[in-house]
């Protein structure tokens, strides 16, 4: 295959990936319901911004197959275990967060008040959910088992 055909093939492959990603998001009922309740305070990041936030998120923390490795956290201090979502408002250091789910789902930027108000809708989208402050100062992990853990990020 010559170089020109390889380039065309890569372009088509990327367009197809984007089309599939868009269709998956459009067909995800729980995601659509979440976006509907967050529409006044949250917005989906564009592809470039989403990629930057995701790379930063992955570079700041150590992950295991089941989530953040809090014991080996290279940039984490002041780990707190939270028993209820009402505690979030009192201990959060920031007002805006990125809502991050698993692969294929968008990243949303949203205010903490809306996150707390619609947390059940947010958590319904995926089994594991993370909130990363837009200043990259803290991360909150919601495990599928109901446990909530927060850690401050050291830069």
- pLDDT for position 138: 93
- pLDDT grade, residue 1 (50/70/90)? low
- pLDDT grade, residue 41 (50/70/90)? confident
- pLDDT for position 71: 81
- What is the rounded average pLDDT for all residues in the chain? 86
Q: Where are the alpha helices (DSSP H) in the chain?
A: 3-26, 29-38, 47-60, 86-91, 112-117, 119-124
The distance of Cα 109 from the centroid of its chain, to the nearest Å, equals 9
> For residues 59 and 132, is the Cβ–Cβ distance under 8 A?
no
Question: pLDDT tens-digit profile of 86-105?
Answer: 788 888 889 999 999 987 79
How far apart (Å, rounded) are the C-alpha atoms in residues 74 and 88?
23
Supply the pTM of this predicted model: 0.83
Residue with tokens 């996150």: 115
Percentage of residues in the chain having pLDDT higher than 70: 97
How far apart (Å, rounded) are the C-alpha atoms in residues 47 and 59?
18
How far apart (Å, rounded) are the C-alpha atoms in residues 106 and 46?
9
User: What's the mean pLDDT in 33-60?
Assistant: 91
């Amino acid at each position: 295959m010559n170089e020109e055909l390889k380039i065309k093939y890569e372009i088509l492959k990327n367009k197809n990936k984007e089309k599939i990603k868009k269709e998956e998001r459009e067909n995800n009922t729980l995601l659509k319901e979440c976006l509907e309740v967050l529409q006044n305070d949250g917005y989906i990041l564009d592809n470039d911004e989403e990629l930057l936030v995701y790379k930063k998120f992955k570079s700041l923390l150590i992950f295991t197959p089941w989530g953040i490795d809090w014991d080996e956290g290279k940039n984490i201090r002041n780990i707190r275990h939270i028993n209820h979502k009402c505690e979030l408002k009192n201990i959060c250091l920031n007002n805006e967060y990125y809502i991050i789910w698993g692969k294929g789902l968008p990243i949303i930027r949203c205010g903490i008040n809306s996150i707390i108000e619609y947390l059940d809708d947010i958590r319904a989208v995926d089994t594991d959910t993370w909130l990363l402050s837009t200043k990259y100062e803290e991360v909150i992990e919601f495990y599928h088992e109901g446990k909530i853990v927060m850690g401050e990020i050291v830069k």
